Amino acid sequence: MAIRRPKVLLSGVALVWRHQRVLWLLYFANLLLALVGTRAVVDRTGDILNHSLAADRLVDRFELGLYYELRLHPSLPFSTSRPMLLYSSLLFVLFMLFAIGGVLTAYYEDRRLDAGGFFRACGEHFWCFFRLMIYFVTALIPIGILVRLAGALYHKVNQQSISPFPAVYALAVAVTIIALLMMCLRLWFDLAQLISLAEGERNMRRALQSAARLLRHNFGSLFWLYLRISMLGWIGFTLCMHLWMMHIPPDGIRASFVVSQATIVFWLAIRLWQRASEARWYRERGAALDVPEPNVEPSPSTPVTSEPQLV
């Protein structure tokens, strides 16, 4: 009799809801680092526009010409803030890499972690996941080469064709292929993180090999799981952008802030939904696939012959 397994998608949603403190932790960390990274450009832009009548042309409506004029201002309000934005982005990446150990532990074990247990799990897996990130960056090199080739193909077709549509079609096909490859690559490394955490594997090469074997044998179910959540995420993100750009007036600062922050929370929740669904899938199905076969004991009725041993 087959064992009825719970639906992984719904189980992932339930996990994200039960452990929603993780979502709010990531959101407020992102908000804090964003405030730190944009503080310089806000101060410099305020020093220029607070005493200028042109400020209304950016508050009541958006004029592209005034925006470029502001970028060319001698005080350089945008270019001087780039290092701080870069540092804030790198800090958020490192924080996400640090926090993912606690996130996956909460999702895989499905138990409420206190602050000490959460950060203990983060620290235990940080360096393993850091080495895994180095492998991930290395694996991105062929993807980057494909991106350059796609750009070169677009320019070549655009120059040789009279109509612009062939170049657009070629670019759309190339972007689709690259996006699918990126999803496969990300799914592979997500599974490697899960295997490292669930099985206590400290060697990231072996974790990647096990993840590749697991993905090869279960590619259809895993990729369909990942693709459905990604498609829902992109549909929701598009709707949020449509609401923000088409239905909120330029002077609706509070409404713009609420919609933008809701979009960030939604995007973080989508990513956590993917990780929770992967953790539930591995706990329910993937772990059972790598269990070694038990040794078969010889039947009592089976004659056992033993060779004489030399003393």
pTM of full prediction above 0.85: no
Task: Decide if 302 is inside a domain.
Answer: no
Number of domains in the chain: 1
Two structure tokens written together for 7:
């639906």
Degrees to nearest 5, angle at CA 255 with 254 and 259: 120
pLDDT tens per residue, the chain (311 residues)?
Answer: 334 445 888 889 999 999 999 999 999 999 998 888 777 777 776 666 666 666 666 666 665 666 666 666 656 555 555 677 788 888 999 999 999 999 999 999 988 888 889 999 999 999 999 999 999 999 999 999 999 998 888 888 888 877 777 888 888 899 999 999 999 999 999 999 999 999 988 999 999 999 999 999 999 989 999 999 999 999 999 999 889 888 887 777 788 889 999 999 999 999 999 999 999 999 887 555 544 444 444 444 444 444 444 33
Distant-in-sequence, close-in-space partners of 282: CB < 8 Å, separation ≥ 6: 108, 191, 194, 195, 198
Other C-beta atoms closer than 10 Å to the C-beta of 49 total: 19
In terms of Cα–Cα distance, which of 198, 146, 205, 138 is closest to 176? 146
Task: Decide if 118 is inside a domain.
Answer: yes
Task: Decide if 292 is inside a domain.
Answer: no
Task: Decide if 169 is inside a domain.
Answer: yes
User: 301 — phi, psi (to 5°)?
Assistant: -80, -10
Range of the domain at 231: 8-286
Task: Decide if 71 is inside a domain.
Answer: yes
Task: Decide if 15 is inside a domain.
Answer: yes
Task: Decide if 233 is inside a domain.
Answer: yes
Task: Decide if 143 is inside a domain.
Answer: yes
Two structure tokens written together for 23:
């979502």
